[in-house]
Amino acid sequence: MKTYSTAEAAKLIGVNRVTLQNWLIDGKVSEPKKVSAGAVQIRVWTDRDVQRVKAYKAKFYRKGRGRKQTDKRGTRK
């Protein structure tokens, strides 16, 4: 099974690494498995994790335009 770093996963998903990290911090997508490398914890992304986040991106973001617009009630157009 192939694994990816956060930067590699972001590139495969088609977003900036910082955007992906913000989605994780905001709880918009669940975190992948973490591995300890000394005193540092590293996220290890699998193909399944990448596909899950791609599905999130397709549902809530448009290419080149960022977040989809919402109406006054907060529902997506």
What pTM, to 2 d.p., does this model score?
0.76
Domain assignment present for residue 26? The answer is yes
Handedness of CA 62, 5, 33, 23 (dihedral sign): negative
Residue count of the chain: 77
Count structural domains, the chain.
Answer: 1
72 or 47, greater pLDDT: 47
Structural domain harbouring 42: 3-63
5 or 63, greater pLDDT: 5
pLDDT cut 90: percent of the chain above it? 71
- How does pLDDT run across 54-70, given as a tens digit for each residue? 999 988 876 666 565 66
Domain assignment present for residue 71? The answer is no
pLDDT at 72 (0 to 100): 62
Domain assignment present for residue 68? The answer is no
CB within 8 Å of 31: residues ≥ 6 apart: 24, 43
Domain assignment present for residue 20? The answer is yes
